[in-house]
């Protein structure tokens, strides 16, 4: 590793370039976005040329320079010419390091555009106030919804106004769809997918019909008309347009999680019981509770008076029962052999509750002091196993926990930062560096509904998927994979599987933010990404005076809705007036591909 301040010559004089600080997967994807789609000069600052993704970043065409420094120091920023750069992205290091680097970059260049990765989103929103021209994004928070929705086999959605946009496939496409977003979908060859293909409008058939007729009648001859009606010959090769279709649709509310309420209630009760008690204490409590309920039922049956039975049972539990006096009755009322037996049982069970409660309190306090992790109990059913509790895994757990889905975390590193956050949510965690098959068994794989493998290593994630399928061939599997070709083979080989890439989902949002564009969210079409962005027509943005045709003619862009300046609270979906030009204050919501947003950004920059 090159030491700070020496060994790496500074970048030759360069201006209007973009700086990417980091050598991880997100930095790699972000550099690709900038050089391939936005076609801007990029200087990369890596901590080590020989580790992580740095060697592959150096081999990318279009990268102006790769500079090695151990950290983003003052000298490192001067070496990458931060004073003449247009923007800088800090996508490596922890939150504190990125904040310090962002403030340092702003000190060297007050007008520079700053995008920094922050795990703590609340802290990030506060840091944005300190930056003159900056924004804080969370790569894990951007990607987590896609992993969570894939685990639940429900469509990934992005909220726009009071509606939720989602992707529907083939037979699930409704008649009121907004637009077709993909065709040629083939699980065996995902490279054939076309995002936002050119589609004919609803009036295309009428335009063709008008072209075939003149003022004096049909232009085509009878022979041509007959040939047009004859069936076309069947080609030897399948048509390139064959395959599945995906369309963008709106929902009035977010897709619900299909888990019955009684299952959620049962899991919550069992989970709470497991949190406060060990297995032995649970046996004692359940046995005592069953005896009390049985005795209460017997008393009620013999007396027929629910109020008196309830009153007497409470006194017996508290140890305040009044025994019958010899010869005080004829065996009825509060007497009688079976009634007395039942009351004795309730009294003895009540005596056991006090020491058991004390033992529970001592065990909980001792376990908290020892930092012990909760293991899933025998009552864990229909849960999702999250393998890897790093940044992404923690976000996925938070997302699913908020939906009321039962969860089990699995982590091999006892020092992983996500363990404490997951424990704070009351989610059981299996911490073990042993064989993955044994860890999955302890996580009760046989009773799970899905396995989400989101560790930072593709091989570990694939191993988790194969081990899970060896035990449960029908279990839902969601993998985090960086390599696209690797993911294509997984899709072609395994059924009921989904693959997502955190960097692939997050990098377009970081690149758009670096260019000053606001991305509301990302939608996954298998391994491809569709961006939902909102653009504001303001002076200097290049949007004023453009119409819907101008925006869509760049290619890879569809205008979904328009928010007029005179009525900013109202969204006009599928705005019909394609020739109306945008005025100051108007906002447009677009669906775009990565390259489409880059081309649109270039057009707007030229206009401004």
For residue 422, what are its two tokens? Answer: 């997951």
Residue 462 has pLDDT above 50, yes or no: yes
Whole-number Å distance between alpha carbons of 310 and 342: 13
Q: What is the sign of the dihedral through the CA atoms of 303, 306, 308 and 314? A: positive
* Tokens representing residue 295 in the block: 């005795």
| Contact status, residue 448 vs residue 408, Cβ threshold 8 Å | yes
Top-confidence residue, 467 or 268? 467
- Distance (Å, whole) CA 21 – CA 80: 10
User: What's residue 365's pLDDT?
Assistant: 67
Query: Sheet harboring 113-117: ordered strands across?
Result: 63-68, 42-46, 18-21, 87-90, 113-117, 134-137
Q: What was the pLDDT predicted at 229?
A: 46
> CA neighbours within 13 Å on the CB side: how many for 239?
9
Segment 214-226, tens digit of pLDDT:
444 444 444 444 4
Residue with the bigger pLDDT between 219 and 267: it is: 267
Cβ count near 8 (within 10 Å): 21
**Residue among 507, 536, 524, 468 nearest 595 (CA):** 507
Alpha helix ranges (H) inside 425-493? 436-442, 458-471, 484-493
Residue 221: per-residue pLDDT: 44
Query: Mean pLDDT, the chain, as a whole number?
Result: 82
CA distances to 13, 20, 90, 109, 489 from 81, in Å: 7, 12, 15, 10, 42
Are 80 and 19 spatial neighbours (Cβ–Cβ below 8 Å)?
yes
pLDDT at residue number 69: 94
* DSSP class per residue in 113-144: EEEEE-S-HHHHHHHHTT-SSEEEE-HHHHHH
- Can you give the pTM of this predicted structure? 0.70
Q: Which of 373-382, 468-477, 555-564 has the lowest mean pLDDT?
A: 373-382
Query: Can you tell me which residue has the tokens 């993704």?
Result: 53
Burial of residue 228, with CB atoms counted within 10 A of its CB: 0-12 exposed, 13-18 middle, 19 or more buried: exposed
Give the bridge partners for 195, in sequence order: 182
pLDDT band at 116 (very low <50, low <70, confident <90, very high): very high
- Please write the tens of the pLDDT for every residue from 343-364: 888 888 888 777 777 777 776 6
* pLDDT for the residue numbered 23: 94
User: Residue 606, Cβ neighbours under 10 Å: how many?
Assistant: 8
pLDDT in tens, 16-28: 899 999 999 999 9
- Among left, alpha and beta (phi > 0; psi -120 to 50; other), residue 426 is left
Q: 587 with 537: CB under 8 angstroms? A: yes
Residues 6+ apart with CB under 8 A from 15: 81, 84, 85
> What's the rounded mean pLDDT across residues 370-382?
64
Predicted pLDDT at 199: 58
Q: Determine the Cα–Cα distance for residues 495 and 477; give it in Å rounded to an integer.
A: 9
383 CB-near residues (< 8 Å, 6+ apart)? 267, 376, 405, 406, 407, 408, 444, 447, 448, 449
Percentage with pLDDT > 90 across the chain: 32
Alpha-carbon torsion (333, 338, 340, 342), positive or negative:
negative
Lowest-pLDDT range of 101-105, 283-287, 514-518: 283-287
Q: What Rg value do the Cα atoms of the chain yield, rounded?
A: 32
**What pLDDT does residue 88 have?**
96
Judged on CB neighbours under 10 Å (0-12, 13-18, 19+), 513 is buried
Confidence (pLDDT) at 276: 62
Q: What is the mean pLDDT of residues 248-262?
A: 72
On whether the CB atoms of residues 13 and 41 are closer than 8 A, the answer is no
Q: Judging by beta carbons within 10 Å of its beta carbon (0-12, 13-18, 19+), is residue 547 exposed, middle or buried?
A: middle
Residue 159 has pLDDT above 70, yes or no: yes
Is residue 374 very low, low, confident or very high in pLDDT (cuts 50, 70, 90)?
A: low
Rounded to 10 degrees, the C-alpha dihedral 468/472/477/480 comes to: 10
pLDDT for the residue 209: 46
CA distance 521 to 165: 10
Statement: residue 3 has pLDDT above 60: no
Task: Kindly give, in sequence order, each residue whose CB lies less than 8 Å from that of residue 370, ignoring residues fewer than 6 positions away.
Answer: none
Q: Phi, psi (5° rounding) for residue 557? A: -135, 135
φ/ψ (deg, to 5) at 201? -75, 175
Q: Distance between CA 183 and CA 197 in Å, rounded?
A: 7
């Amino acid at each position: 590793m090159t030491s700070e301040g020496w060994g790496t010559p500074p970048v030759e004089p360069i201006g209007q370039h973009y700086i990417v600080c980091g050598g991880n997967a997100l930095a790699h994807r972000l550099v690709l976005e900038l050089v391939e789609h936005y076609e801007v000069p990029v200087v990369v600052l890596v901590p080590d040329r020989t580790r992580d993704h740095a060697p592959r970043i150096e081999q990318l065409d279009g990268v102006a320079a790769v500079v090695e420094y151990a950290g983003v120091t003052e000298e490192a920023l001067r070496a990458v010419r931060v004073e003449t750069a247009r923007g800088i992205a800090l996508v490596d290091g922890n939150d504190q390091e990125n904040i310090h680097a962002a403030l340092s970059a702003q000190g060297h260049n007050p007008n520079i555009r700053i995008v920094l990765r922050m795990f703590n989103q609340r802290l990030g929103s506060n840091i944005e106030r300190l930056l003159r021209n900056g924004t804080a994004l969370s790569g894990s928070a951007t990607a987590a919804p896609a992993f969570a929705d894939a685990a639940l086999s429900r469509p990934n959605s992005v909220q726009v106004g009071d509606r939720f946009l989602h992707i529907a496939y083939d037979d699930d496409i409704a008649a009121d769809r907004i637009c077709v977003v993909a065709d040629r979908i083939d699980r065996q060859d995902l490279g054939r997918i076309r995002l936002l293909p050119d589609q004919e409008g609803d009036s295309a058939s009428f335009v063709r019909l008008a072209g075939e007729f003149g003022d004096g009648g049909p232009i085509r001859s009878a022979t041509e008309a007959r040939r047009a009606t004859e069936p076309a010959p069947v080609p030897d090769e399948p048509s390139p347009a064959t395959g599945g279709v995906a369309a963008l649709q709106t929902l009035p509310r977010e897709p619900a999680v299909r888990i019955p309420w009684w299952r959620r209630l049962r899991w919550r009760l069992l989970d709470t019981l497991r949190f406060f008690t060990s297995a032995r204490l649970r046996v004692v409590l359940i046995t005592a509770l069953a005896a009390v309920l049985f005795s209460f039922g017997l008393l009620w049956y013999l007396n027929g008076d629910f109020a008196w039975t309830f009153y007497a049972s409470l006194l017996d539990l508290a140890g305040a029962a009044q025994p019958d006096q010899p010869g005080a009755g004829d065996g009825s009322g509060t007497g009688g052999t079976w009634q007395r037996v039942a009351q004795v049982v309730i009294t003895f069970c009540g005596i056991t509750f006090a020491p058991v409660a004390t033992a529970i309190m001592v065990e909980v306090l001792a376990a908290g002091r020892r930092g012990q992790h909760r293991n899933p109990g025998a009552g864990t059913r229909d849960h999702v196993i999250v393998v890897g509790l790093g940044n992404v895994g923690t976000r996925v757990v938070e997302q699913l926990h908020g939906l009321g889905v039962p969860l089990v975390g699995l982590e091999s590193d006892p020092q992983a930062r996500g363990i404490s956050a997951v424990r704070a949510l009351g989610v059981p965690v299996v911490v073990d560096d042993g064989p993955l098959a044994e860890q999955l068994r302890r996580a009760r794989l046989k009773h799970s509904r899905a396995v989400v493998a989101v560790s930072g290593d593709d091989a570990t994630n694939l191993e988790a998927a194969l081990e899970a399928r060896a035990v449960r061939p029908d279990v839902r599997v969601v993998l985090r994979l960086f390599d696209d070709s690797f993911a294509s083979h997984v899709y072609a080989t395994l059924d009921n599987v989904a693959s997502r890439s955190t960097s692939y989902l997050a990098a377009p949002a970081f690149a758009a933010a670096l260019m000053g564009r606001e991305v509301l969210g990302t939608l996954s079409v298998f391994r491809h990404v569709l961006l939902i962005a909102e653009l504001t027509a303001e002076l200097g943005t290049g949007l004023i005076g453009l119409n819907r045709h101008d925006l869509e003619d760049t290619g890879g862009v569809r205008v979904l809705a328009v928010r007029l300046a005179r009525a900013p609270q109202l969204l006009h979906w599928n705005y019909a007036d394609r020739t109306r030009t945008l005025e100051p204050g108007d906002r447009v919501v677009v669906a775009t591909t990565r390259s489409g947003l880059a081309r649109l950004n270039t057009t707007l920059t030229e206009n401004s």
